[in-house]
Amino acid sequence: MNNFYSQEKVFFQKAKKNIEKYTNIVILGHINPDGDCIGSQTALYYAIKAKYPNKKIYFPFAETEYSKFLLPQNYQNEINPTIFKNSLVIVVDFHEKKRLNNLKIPKDNFVIVIDHHPEISRDLGDLVWIDKSSMACCEMIYFFLKALQFPINSDVATALMLGIITDSGNFTHTNTKTTTFIAAAELMQTGVNLQTIHKNLNSQPLINLKLHSYYLQNFVKKENLIYFTFCPNDIKKIPLITTIKEPFSSTKNIPKNLKNINVWANFIQINKQEAIKCSLRSIEEIDVSVIARKYGGGGHKNAAGITLKNWKTIDKVIKDLKFISKII
């Protein structure tokens, strides 16, 4: 691990100096945040707050299944331009402006970027650490905090472990490395609440049984591709779906272990005012992030996402997914 630290030493020290310099800090995650994104934001919040109690730290977040149990008690979610005034901005788990969640970073703010996604068209960051070999942004942040001797208490460790577990697919994805297990093992020693993580990741409302049933009856198979669509006109079939945040998220990996299925995708829109959320998945040999980037999205080789405005584009995405599903 000494080699790992030496390679990033300059970044670590410059980042620490800027964290010490600013009284106000804003920690930003990307649109439609996953466990790694929310975990990275909250872990940095807890760690910086523990070391520098008097700093004012904001981390605007989207309401997700992850944010509910990681958030500090009585934390006020402030999403407005005033938080950027005289603030250091730390961007985690992304490096492109188009991935900002309805926020614009003023040009005069100093921006630090920590990300593990491949650098395609970066347009953010004055101080940048991008390591595409890292399995999760939370893994990177763990070694960052450890190198600089920031406090890693139970709250920090639980947030980081959430990101590691979700982005590694419970340590099964091909980019899971030795460093991933080292980080996880050392985090366990600090008091990770695995039961809390497991409960929040796996507990499902009863309506999910209906959603799974609907999914199984309505997915479409085209050769080596499976895809599923749900649009506002379908709501009458499952009226209670409007009460759920991120419906059908639990169906994303149902086709994962099916023979001869190489690519699978969900296209979900609950009401016409919202965008269509597209979740793309694939087996290890096929890169769905190429398709995601083509349509303005992003992600990893085997797990990517897109946000689209009309269903005509979905037909094009499906056509592209069908093509790459036959590559092997």
Structure tokens at 235: 């709501």
pLDDT at 236 over 90: no
pLDDT of residue 284: 81
Is the distance from CB of 92 to CB of 115 less than 8 angstroms?
Answer: yes
Average pLDDT over residues 174-200: 91
pLDDT of residue 1: 45
pLDDT, tens digit, for every residue of 67-78?
778 887 777 777
pLDDT of residue 2: 44
pLDDT, tens digit, for every residue of 245-295?
778 888 888 998 899 999 999 999 988 888 999 999 999 889 999 999 999
pLDDT of residue 115: 96
| CA 88 centroid distance within chain | 22
In sequence order, the β-bridge partners of residue 128 are: 113
pLDDT of residue 204: 78
Q: What mean pLDDT value characterizes the chain?
A: 89
C-alpha–C-alpha distance, residues 135 and 132, integer Å: 8
Instruction: Calculate ∠ Cα 143-149-154, nearest 5°.
Output: 75
> What are the counts of helices (DSSP H) followed by strands (DSSP E) for the chain?
10, 11
List the domains of the chain with CATH numbers: 2-201 (3.90.1640.10), 207-324 (3.10.310.30)
Average pLDDT over residues 111-134: 90
Which residue in this structure is represented by tokens 């199984």?
Answer: 216
pLDDT of residue 224: 96
pLDDT at 243 over 60: yes
What length does the chain have?
328
Average pLDDT over residues 38-65: 90
pLDDT at 52 over 70: yes
Average pLDDT over residues 112-123: 88
pLDDT of residue 4: 52
Structure tokens at 233: 């006109």
Q: Give 175's pLDDT tier (boundaries 50, 70, 90).
A: confident
Instruction: Calculate ∠ Cα 174-286-65, nearest 5°.
Output: 60
The stretches of the chain forming alpha helices (DSSP H) are 2-21, 35-51, 67-70, 137-147, 154-168, 178-188, 194-202, 207-218, 289-294, 311-324
Task: Evaluate if pTM is beyond 0.75.
Answer: yes
**DSSP for residue 296:** T
pLDDT of residue 253: 86
Best-predicted range by mean pLDDT (99-108, 238-247, 303-312): 303-312
pLDDT of residue 248: 83
% of the chain beyond a pLDDT of 70: 97
Best-predicted range by mean pLDDT (101-110, 196-205, 312-321): 312-321
pLDDT, tens digit, for every residue of 208-229?
888 999 999 999 999 999 999 9
Q: Residue 28: which H helix or E strand, with range?
A: strand 24-28
